[in-house]
Structure 1
Amino acid sequence: MTTEKDFQISPIVPEAIAHNSKTLFNYQSLTASIFGVGAGILGLESYIGFLFYLICSIVAALFFYTLRVAPSSIASGKAPFDTSRYFRGALEFWTGGLTGGLAGFILTWTLFYGLVRA
């Protein structure tokens, strides 16, 4: 059992980081599917569709950062774009959605492309 002294020594709680990572993964999976719907309805093909996914994923990560991470980072005096207090690392936060949501993006992209073009 962790004590108050343990939290003072290491204020990062592993359960909270796991919860934050799960929330981020759910957000990235949902937005990847929504981006796939958008790419399919727009009729995007080949590299343009993947470029659409890349740009939308970056915008979604910035949106999530500004709503969830930035206000508490600014209040605590941390450096901008520092996510190490809430997630396992910056790489997980900024690029985790690119690989994690790619399958859902492709699935919904091809589904809606086929529905619109059929």
Structure 2
Amino acid sequence: MTDAHGFQHVCPNGGAVYADKGYGLNPVKITLKRKGCHDGTIKKNNMKEKNRDKDRWLSAIRAPYERVFAHRNKKVRYRGLVKVQFQVGIRALVFNLKRLMTLGVDRITLCHT
């Protein structure tokens, strides 16, 4: 069973959904249409409506979000839920701080007016 089989339970009402080739199934398309979502799924190579330029554009939109999961380690250093949650939280904090440095602090407002 794939994630696409449970898609109807997590699909938002309205908006857009950008997903990979595994979500190009007809039940997913029906769910997207029923909930009023824009279909941003990448099409498989054997589909008639395959558009490589559109798929490249959709991949560029998904890339920053996918990178977070791609750089995440599959293993943890500690045992116990609290220690593992702390490790994952610190790793996410470090990732966000590195991203903030890449974006440049001068472009981000850090205080409220």
Question: In proportion to residue count, which structure has more strand?
Answer: 2
Q: TM-score range by the shorter chain?
A: 0.3 to 0.5
Please say which structure displays the higher CA radius of gyration: 2
Q: Identify which of structures 1 and 2 has the higher relative contact order when contacts are C-alpha pairs closer than 8 Å and 6+ apart.
A: 1
- Could you state the TM-score of these two structures normalised by the residue count of structure 2? 0.37
Question: In proportion to residue count, which structure has more helix?
Answer: 1
